């Protein structure tokens, strides 16, 4: 027998409220990135989901396009240049009465010229006397716009705005910045766990202290080192290898710490048995440790990769802000400054930058959570 209690309904509603509040911002961004950029600028994204009424002002063509027909001077044309699927409901010729006429009505201007309009925006403007003005008259339309989505913004952002290249750059930063610490820290963590040497405990304490050191502490000295290094060898101070090593440095403590915690949980007997059989530490590492550590590696890979992919500060400080080096987050920040009103570019760019994290999130959520729970501590 199931009893539906009041408290259970209340908690469902409360959770639903949280879910809605949490999903709406991202959902709005996603919808916006798929909208026509003109509509995006004049209406909220939530209107894109239903057929909506929009009010617009159009200007008809001027005297150049007039023709003489059936004793009238006529100007024919269409208001909607793009095929957006809008249907006109009503229109007006005066800004004070924008809904004065229905489709099929003949609207008469003060100069006795008349205009008829069909619902697709085709108009015929006719007059007994010749048109004299270069600019046509204005029409105020009220039309219904069905939901319509387009990938046009993505095409523009990826190829024209340089987001595509920034995407490649970010990959070139994040992948080595994840693999290098994983490689060197797995050996480091192995020796901290299974090898005996002088100063091991001190080293471990240093790692634990380094976990929480904010990376701001390192920025100025490392920038100085890079500048000196660049000047000494005549190479660029800001480069991809420089960023990899910086990320490696900042991720080293947490990667080592997580790996060591994992290695410590492996049975000691296994290592001893392998040693008795004459295996060297490297053999043990390759044949036993690596196969056993795949899940731990996966979790750490995801954490570090997302951290590097989403980082702004390191990419800003240690890379030049030029098209061949700029990373996605820095590019987005730049667009926020320079194209702050072009929401089609910003929303689409942001969504492009989120594709990889979201893919990882949905595909590998289990490993991601496991890594976080194991102790995501990062300085």
Partner 1 sequence: MTILNLLFIVFLGILFFIAYFHISNYLLDSYGGSSVKRYNFENSIRVIVFIAPAFIVLFIFILYPVFETIRLSFYDKFGREFVGLYNYKWAVNDPEFRRSILNNLVWLLVVPTLSTFFGLVIANLADRIWWGSIAKSIIFMPMAISFVGAGVIWKFIYEYRGPDNTQIGLLNAIIVSLGYEPQAWLTIPIWNNFFLMAIMIWIQTGLALVIFSAALRSIPKEMLEAARIDGASELKIFFSIIIPYLEQTILVIWTLITIIVLRIFDIIFAMTNGEWQTGVLANLMYDWMFRGGGDSGRGSVLAIVIMIGVIPILAWNLYKHRQEQKI
Stretch that binds partner 1, among 95-103, 144-152, 155-163, 175-183 (CB under 8 A): 175-183
Residue number, 122 or 261, with CB nearest to partner 1:
261
Closer residue to partner 1, CB minimum distance, 113 or 170: 170
Q: For residue 62, which of 138, 165, 156 has the smallest C-alpha distance?
A: 138
* Contact status: 220 vs partner 1 (CB under 8 A): yes
List 103, 116, 175, 237, residue binding partner 1 (CB under 8 A): 175
For residues 27-66, which are near partner 1 according to CB under 8 A? Answer: 28-29, 32, 40-46
Contact flag: residue 309 with partner 1 (CB under 8 A) = yes
Shortest distance, CB of residue 335 to partner 1, whole angstroms? Answer: 9
Q: Does 284 bind partner 1 (CB under 8 A)?
A: no
Q: Is 221 in the site for partner 1 (CB under 8 A)?
A: yes
| Token pair belonging to 266 | 């492996």
| 36, 119, 156, 283: which one binds partner 1 (CB under 8 A) | 283
Number of residues that bind partner 1 (CB under 8 A): 115
Give the residue, chosen from 73, 80, 297, 361, that forms a contact with partner 1 under the rule CB under 8 A.
361
Sites for partner 1 among residues 188-207 (CB under 8 A): 188, 190-191, 195, 197, 201, 203-207
Of the residues 99, 129, 338, 365, which one makes contact with partner 1 according to CB under 8 A? 365
Do the Cβ atoms of 160 and 138 come closer than 8 Å?
A: no
Residue of 78, 150, 310, 321 interacting with partner 1 (CB under 8 A): 310
Give min distance, CB of 116 to partner 1, in A: 29
CB atoms within 10 A of CB 90: 18
Residues 76-115 that bind partner 1 (CB under 8 A): none
Residue 117 or 350 having the CB closest to partner 1: 350
Task: Give which of 155, 102, 373, 134 is closest to 262, Cα–Cα.
Answer: 373
CB of 134 to partner 1, least distance (A): 29
Q: Is 373 in the site for partner 1 (CB under 8 A)?
A: yes
CB of 70 to partner 1, least distance (A): 42
Residue 377 touching partner 1 (CB under 8 A): yes
Is 329 a binding residue for partner 1 by CB under 8 A? The answer is yes
The answer to whether residue 231 forms part of the interface with partner 1 (CB under 8 A) is: no
């Amino acid at each position: 027998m199931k009893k539906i209690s009041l408290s259970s309904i209340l908690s469902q509603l409360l959770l639903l409220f949280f879910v809605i509040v949490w999903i709406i911002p991202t959902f709005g961004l996603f919808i916006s990135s798929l909208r026509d950029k003109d509509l995006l600028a004049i209406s909220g994204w939530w209107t894109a989901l239903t057929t909506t009424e929009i009010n617009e002002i159009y200007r008809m063509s001027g005297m150049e396009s007039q023709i003489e027909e059936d004793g009238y001077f006529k100007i024919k044309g269409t208001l909607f240049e793009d095929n957006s699927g809008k249907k006109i409901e009503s229109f007006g010729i005066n800004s004070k009465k924008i809904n004065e006429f229905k489709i099929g009505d003949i609207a008469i201007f003060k100069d006795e010229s008349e205009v008829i309009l069909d619902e697709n925006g085709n108009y015929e403007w006719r007059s007994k006397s010749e048109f004299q003005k270069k600019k046509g008259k204005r029409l105020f339309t009220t039309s219904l716009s069905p939901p319509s989505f387009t990938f046009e913004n993505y095409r523009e952002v990826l190829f024209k705005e340089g987001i595509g290249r920034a995407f490649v750059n970010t990959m070139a930063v994040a992948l080595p910045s994840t693999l290098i610490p994983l490689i060197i820290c797995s050996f480091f963590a192995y020796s901290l766990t299974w090898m005996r040497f002088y100063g091991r405990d001190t080293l471990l304490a240093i790692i634990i202290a380094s976990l929480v050191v904010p990376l701001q502490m390192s920025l100025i000295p490392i920038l100085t080192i890079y500048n000196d290094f660049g000047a000494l060898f005549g190479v660029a101070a800001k480069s991809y290898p420089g960023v990899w090593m910086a990320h490696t440095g900042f991720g080293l403590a947490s990667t080592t710490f997580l790996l060591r915690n994992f290695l410590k949980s492996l049975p000691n007997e296994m290592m001893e048995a392998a040693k008795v059989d004459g295996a060297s530490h490297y053999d043990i590492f390759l044949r036993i440790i690596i196969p056993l550590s795949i899940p731990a590696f996966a979790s750490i890979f995801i954490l570090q990769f997302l951290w590097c992919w989403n980082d702004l500060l390191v990419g800003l400080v240690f890379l030049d802000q030029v098209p061949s080096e700029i990373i996605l987050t820095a590019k987005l920040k730049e667009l926020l400054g320079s194209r702050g009103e072009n929401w089609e570019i910003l929303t689409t760019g942001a969504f492009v930058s989120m594709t990889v994290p979201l893919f990882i999130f949905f595909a590998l959520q289990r490993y991601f959570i496991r890594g976080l729970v194991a102790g995501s501590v990062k300085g």
